[in-house]
Amino acid sequence: MRPVFVLLFAIFGFVATLVAQDVKPLRQADERYKADILVVVAHPDDEAAATPYLARALDEGKHVAVAYGTRGSSGENQSGAEQAAALGAIREIEARRSLAHFGITNVWFLGGKDTASQDVLQSLANWDHGAALENLVRIMRVTRPEVVLTFLPGTFIGEDHGDHQASGVLATEAFDLAGNPTVFPSQVAAPLRRLEPYLENLQPWQPKKIYYFPDAERDDLFKGKGPAYSVKEIAKSSKKAYWRLALEGFLTHETQAKGYIDRLHKMSDAEIEKLAESDGWGDAQHFVLGKSLVGGSVTGDIFESITPGLIAVTHPEVVAEPQQPELSVELAGPWKFYAQFRRAHALTHLPHPEPPEIALQLGTTLVIPLWVHNPTASSQEIALAADLPAGWTAQSGTGKFSIGPKETCAARVEINLPPPTDHAPRKQDAQEITVRATAREQSVGVIKLRVEPRKRTLPE
Ligand SMILES: [Zn+2]
């Protein structure tokens, strides 16, 4: 070969190598953490509220991630001496082992503190709402779920744990925020150096649908509001019924249910089937559609109308609250919060009880938080009185109060429930409590609450 060709070949080879070396793939999001479903719950063992459905979704090839608001550090330890934070550390392992039973390892903890209360606002405060939300938005951007499943944000008669409600509130907020690049912008900022310590290099992500599972005994309110799934079909992969897989997944939660789990271990298959019927494991799973940004029907399959990929970010249209021009008194606390929350997140269709309701333990105190609004230009006097069932007494907060011009002030009526008697049933008929607000003999507010007295109600 003539030297000039040798040279040309050498140059060509060099350039070709240069070009090949020049094409470097840019780093992409880690596909191992991409989920079809993100479940957001409050405590270890809450996943059991969704595992009969998750067993089906996993069998159909879906990928699932789970986020827990807390480690569940409150309550009794049925398997050892450890309490409080130590108990929470153990429960984190029990939750991870439970989910590993289904093959789910995409598991996250938001770092909130277990709060034994029915009041979602106390749970949100104790969880450090802002930090927990930032964490959940991050997890949503890492796991990029098509669908979010979580507890129904609302307050009802039922177990209705404040932490369960808080997980539903956070999941809804994160659903509406994770696609917005101006929300927690350092999460979606491009890194400035190879070992970037501050900017996270995530992408905004808008999930397509959010569904709720209620933690309340008000099936009448939830019927037909979303899809229902039988849990009795047999999984292709394991040849076991979905309910059976869910039950087996629950067996790791010994600190919460050792007695129950020990009994299960001693049962025959036939006995377990019988128990599943009486204990609710065999019940169909019902969901309430929160919202879909991709259409589909209310009771259709959770994945109906979902195709992979990005969708446009939509900001819910906030429905303005009607303003009262005159002196007025209204119910405050979680009930008022939820009315505002439903408007702020385009969830005004979400089932909620009217009048508002709560289950309370006999012998305890019902606290009715109120807002008193005086938009007028002069000081006003109002009178608060309560209509109560026999045996119930107003402890404080009734009587006359004054409020300055252009002020909104909090007031609180406290009502003692009658003490429990030896023969009181576990739960009794709900009672209606009415607080009447008057000014110059005119009504300025009638606040109704349905209260179901029970022997025991503290959520667990
Ligand atoms: Zn729970």
Distance 161 CA to ligand 1 centre (A): 7
Return the pLDDT at 50.
Answer: 96
Return the pLDDT at 4.
Answer: 55
Q: Which one, of 336, 401, 346, lies nearest residue 371 by Cα?
A: 336
Distance 42 CA to ligand 1 centre (A): 6
Distance 165 CA to ligand 1 centre (A): 10
Residue 232's pLDDT band, with cuts at 50, 70 and 90, is very high
Question: What would the pLDDT profile of 83-126 be if each residue is shown by its tens digit?
Answer: 999 999 999 999 999 999 999 999 999 999 999 889 999 999 99
Distance 162 CA to ligand 1 centre (A): 9
Distance 111 CA to ligand 1 centre (A): 15
Distance 168 CA to ligand 1 centre (A): 12
- Mean per-residue pLDDT over the chain, rounded: 92
Q: What is the mean pLDDT of residues 220-236?
A: 94
Return the pLDDT at 267.
Answer: 94
126, 113 Cβ separation under 8 angstroms: yes
Element (H, E) at 433: strand 431-439
Q: What is the mean pLDDT of residues 163-189?
A: 97
Residue 206's pLDDT band, with cuts at 50, 70 and 90, is very high
Write the DSSP string, 230-288: -S-SBPTTT-SBHHHHHHHHHTT-HHHHHHHHHHHHH--HHHHHHHHHHHSTTSPEE-E
Residue 10's pLDDT band, with cuts at 50, 70 and 90, is low
> Which two three-digit tokens encode residue 447?
């606040």
Distance 31 CA to ligand 1 centre (A): 30
| pTM beyond 0.75, yes or no | yes
Q: Is the pLDDT of residue 460 over 50?
A: no
* Least confident window among 184-198, 311-325, 356-370, 377-391: 311-325
Distance 32 CA to ligand 1 centre (A): 28
Question: What would the pLDDT profile of 347-364 be if each residue is shown by its tens digit?
Answer: 999 999 999 999 898 999
Distance 106 CA to ligand 1 centre (A): 20
